[in-house]
Structure 1
């Protein structure tokens, strides 16, 4: 049995914090059916805190220039790039995916997405006339995703 990686905190409001609950979720290796990791199970209070933090961050983010946002996206891409093998290995084990595909899809695709967005931001028509209407594209707010 391999060492179990335990993550005991959630990333909320720019910091790693304990969950308000005590339950955990086992991460299973698809090939061996052994527990390969354990993460905290977020509670509704944890989700509420995360949404509130994201809402506060949205106020600043929505007024941040496209150039500055591009810099953040590039830094995220660079961080993913340095961890490609770690990401690919863990995801390959959890999903039962061949490592070469995990490197391309699970680690590579997000890296490419984040690194290409800064170049694409200049190509987006933030305002355009459609018929006799002006269509303006702007941030609308916080979303939650599982």
Structure 2
């Protein structure tokens, strides 16, 4: 089974809690990212909740290139179109969320929170060839 699909299925079956194949607990959201050519892709993303919003980072596991979903969220922000996100709860809830890419000090502060959340994020900086990871606020 596809790794992401396994995470998506586990998320939906367990009220948003994922502990297999990787231990995320309730720190994930499923983002329905619009594709350029139409349709959507569901991306399970580590998320930090704050003030009724969820923050996600385009780390791509430390790749020097942005993940494809980053461009979909940027298009949604530019068009002022919400995206659907599935958030943890009993049951999992789907909400329409406004997309805002963080910049400057706000982005940098949230990046520090991601690194505190998981040391893996700090490791990604070593292989990203200087790429700055975009961070998005998804607010209902």
TM-score normalised according to structure 1 size: 0.24
- Higher percent of residues as helix: 1
- Higher percent of residues as strand: 2
Larger Rg: 1
Ranked by relative contact order (alpha carbons within 8 Å, sequence separation 6 or more), the top structure is 2
